[in-house]
A = this chain, B = another copy of it.
Amino acid sequence: MDIRGELLIGGEAFVGSGPGFQGIEAASGHPIEPTFPAATAQDLDRACGLAAEAFTAFRDTAPEARARFLESIAQNILDIGDALIVRCMAESGLPRPRLEGERGRTVGQLRMFAGVLRDGGFLQARIDPALPERKPLPRPDLRLRMIGVGPVAVFGASNFPLAFSVAGGDTAAALAAGCPVVAKAHPAHPGTSELVGRAVQKAVADCGLPAGTFALLFDGGRDIGQGLVADPRIMAVGFTGSRAGGIALMKIAAARPHPIPVYAEMSSINPVVLLPGALAARGEAIGREFVASVALGAGQFCTNPGLLLAIEGPALDGFVASAKAAMAETAAATMLTPGIAKAYEAGVSVLEDHAAVETLARGRAGEGLQGQAGLFSTHADAFLTHPELGDEVFGAAGLLVRCRDAAQLQAVLESLEGQLTAALHMVEADHPTVRTLLPVLETKVGRILVNGFGTGVEVADAMVHGGPFPATSDGRTTSVGSLAIDRFLRPVSYQGLPDALLPDALKDANPLKLWRRVDGAVKAP
């Protein structure tokens, strides 16, 4: 597949007529060919109109047909071959193994949702049979299933150019739900986006689906993205990016005559609690593991462990010593974009220059646009009175907050905003303390994990990649794992509809072989 700088709308590919922009080689800051002329308002209108048109036929496809469609997208992405990895490396600065892994994850997500479709649990089929003899009034036959909400806008993320981008988790979940997708490419990886977009577009055609099922729009500015969220035919938004960006989209969505949900995954500093028992047992090892995690991928993960909490004392010293040593050995790494590199340096400067913060160690200095890792330390008294110390520094920086005792550690946790994850490093002797912390953590984060770090988000049924605001715009959901499909579904109830007219999910004969809730009880197919 070629990269031509073309918009993908309605089964066609053509060069836009808006202002052009180019991808930037992350390592050098140099532009890469070709130019990507932005979509115009007319292109946007056409993409949304076709998506709305496609919705009726697309959502009516059988789950099996959508499963095959997702598998076809997955195969088409693999079929691009190394050209995808090469382009993505250039645009993102991310190394080959990471991107090969991310491609595997992207393909895996699409295939997981194929499985979700075949399982059918997402339909939440419920049947309350008629009770004609019930007194004082008979009960009518009532049946419920979930259907797609309508066309979905998906914004690609800068930090996962494959897995959270054009054919990433949001797109896979929306398509699985039966919702056409209008994707807005992230301007940091337009070539990668076009390649993946073509893979989706080809799958749409190969599967005989309506051409409006998928569109890909480019814009180096904000007009198209904002217009997409405002378009009356768009019924939900998936976004992964900055807090400012996510909140801007939330405001547009809330101000519409018909407000719509925005699923924005935004900022998180992912507190890591180092319990005393664990520090005593293996503080030095945790120190090394922490530095490896905080520096992974130049620290550019939503689940990057940016905050460490521990109780002062000798047990902490071993951790600090080993983390300092490991940090000093940590290589600098190319960051995703010049803008992100600059923002990282600014965030680090806030810590370095802060009167209440000590710089424990910096990683090796880098060249050009590389980010230099850093480990900083402050006291809980300062952290609790300087809210800026809780701001996310997107990159390989960690801040250790030394607490006086368990009560102060809990107070720090209670002071935090919503987060994606919290990690607990603990041994059995720490259980009593953990018991008191868990209720706090449950209200603050989407995922609580033990003796590890939040990076490495498993794509699974039981995953929650979400959390209370501002980690996400909507803590009732997840953007990773099979439950992510729920974001793009709504329930419809059918009362007294003849069997011949019922959707397959609700017919008496249960042709989709679903587990259903019948008259209050779970029933096997």
Chain A 121-145 interface mask (CB, 8 Å, partner B; 1/0): 1001011100000001101101110
Q: Is A490 an interface residue (CB 8 A)?
A: yes
Q: Does A244 contact B (CB under 8 A)?
A: no
CA distance A524 to B115 in the complex (A): 21
Contacts of A261 in B (CB 8 A): 474, 476
Separation of A452 and B497 alpha carbons in the complex (Å): 11
B476, A431: Cβ atoms under 8 Å?
Answer: no
Q: Which of A64-72, A79-87, A463-471 contacts B (4 or more CB under 8 A)?
A: A463-471
Q: Is the CB of B491 within 8 A of A464?
A: yes
Could you say which residues of chain B place their CB within 8 Å of the CB of A477? 490-491
Which B residues touch A443, using CB under 8 A?
A: 55-56, 147, 150
C-alpha spacing A478/B492, complex, angstroms: 9
A478–B491 CB distance below 8 A: yes
Digit string of A468-496 for contact with B (CB within 8 Å is 1, else 0)? 11100111111000010000011111111
**Cβ of A222 < 8 Å from any Cβ of B?**
no
* Complex: chain B residue closest to A489, CB-CB: B476
List chain B residues, Cβ under 8 A from A489.
476
Which of A8-16, A33-41, A211-219, A453-461 lies at the interface? Answer: A453-461
Task: Tell me if A500 and B259 are in contact (CB < 8 A).
Answer: no
Q: Which B residue sits closest to A470, measured CB to CB? A: B258
Contact A492 B461 (CB under 8 A): no
Which residues of the partner chain B approach A490 to less than 8 Å between Cβ atoms? 446, 466, 468, 475-477
In the complex formed, the residue of B with least CB distance to A474 is B261
Contact in complex: A450, B493 (CB < 8 Å): no
How many whole Å from A268's CB to the nearest CB in chain B? 14
Task: Kindly state the separation between the CA atoms of A443 and B150 in the bound complex, as whole angstroms.
Answer: 8
Smallest CB gap from A441: residue in B: B492
Contacts of A473 in B (CB 8 A): 259
For A127, the closest partner residue in chain B by CB is B462
| Segment of A166-174, A187-195, A311-319, A515-523 in the binding face | A515-523
User: Do residues B458 and A517 form an inter-chain contact, with CB atoms below 8 A?
Assistant: no
A446 in contact with B501 given A261-B474, A522-B121 (CB within 8 Å): no
User: Taking the nearest CB of chain B, how far is it from the CB of A53, in angstroms?
Assistant: 12
- Whether A269 sits at the interface, judged by CB under 8 Å, is no
Which residue of the partner chain B has the closest CB to A480? B493
With a cutoff of 8 Å between Cβ atoms, the chain B residues found around residue A493 in the complex are 446-448, 462-464, 478
Further contacts, 10 of them, CB under 8 A, given A128-B462, A137-B456, A258-B468: A126-B461, A142-B458, A142-B462, A144-B464, A251-B254, A431-B501, A447-B495, A448-B492, A461-B520, A483-B491
